[in-house]
Every structure is written in structure tokens, then in C-alpha cells.
Amino acid sequence: EPEVTQTPSHQVTQMGQEVILRCVPISNHLYFYWYRQILGQKVEFLVSFYNNEISEKSEIFDDQFSVERPDGSNFTLKIRSTKLEDSAMYFCASTRGDGYTFGSGTRLTVV
């Protein structure tokens, strides 16, 4: 069964550093998303991406965050100048309309 692949599975970074989280969505999917889940809390929407541009972003997705689809397969989330409160699981998801498939996630720990 097709999968959404995320790397790395776990990243530890120092506060103030930049991180890039990577995702390979399912190949025939057209809509891509990033969500995050702080430990013990809800899954929260960050941003959606379609046709090489952001289609919607949440209040969380401020200037610290950016997304990119640098080639035909990868979809990245960049967090500039990380803060302690950015520590969370970050999930990539994709869909072609019949259900949203989530990647296995990247656990980001900011120390």
C-alpha cells in the first residue's frame, strides 16, 4: 500500500537553530499538508499546499515557518530559529480526495 514517507523520524535541535523536515507524499496525490501534535494535545493543522503554492495556513504558521516542493517528489517544512514550544510531532499528509494519508511523523525536540 502506498505510504507517505517522512524523514528524519526524530530530530533534536538547539533553540534558535533552523530545521528542515522532509516528506515524500504518495505519488498520485495532489494536495499536501503539514500538521503538528504537541504531546498530549490535538492534531493541529499548519498548512496546505496545492499546485506549488500554499492554499491555506493556520495562525500557527507564521513567518518562522515555510514550505517548499523543491522537486516532483519532496515536500519540506522549514522552521527557522526554533523555539522550545516548537517541540512536537510533525506529520505530513496527502490526499487525492478519498481520505488523507499521514506519514509516520518526525518528533522534533528543541533543547
**Binder of another protein out of 61, 65, 75, 91 (CB under 8 A):** 91
Q: What is the CA radius of gyration of the chain?
A: 13
Give the separation between CA 44 and CA 55, rounded to whole angstroms: 16
Nearer to another protein, 18 or 56 (CB): 56
Give the separation between CA 11 and CA 28, rounded to whole angstroms: 28
Q: Kindly state whether residue 59 participates in binding another protein, applying the rule CB under 8 A.
A: no
Q: Kindly state whether residue 75 participates in binding another protein, applying the rule CB under 8 A.
A: no
Q: Kindly state whether residue 18 participates in binding another protein, applying the rule CB under 8 A.
A: no
Q: In the bound complex, what is the minimum distance in angstroms from residue 43's beta carbon to another protein?
A: 4
**Element of type H or E holding 10:** strand 10-13
**Binder of another protein out of 51, 59, 63, 97 (CB under 8 A):** 97
Give the separation between CA 73 and CA 14, rounded to whole angstroms: 29
Give the separation between CA 17 and CA 45, rounded to whole angstroms: 23
Give the separation between CA 34 and CA 103, rounded to whole angstroms: 10
**Region binding another protein by CB under 8 A among candidate stretches 18-26, 60-68, 76-84, 88-96:** 88-96
- Residues forming contacts to another protein in the complex (CB under 8 A) are 30-31, 33, 35, 41-45, 48, 50, 56, 58, 89, 91, 93, 95, 97-105
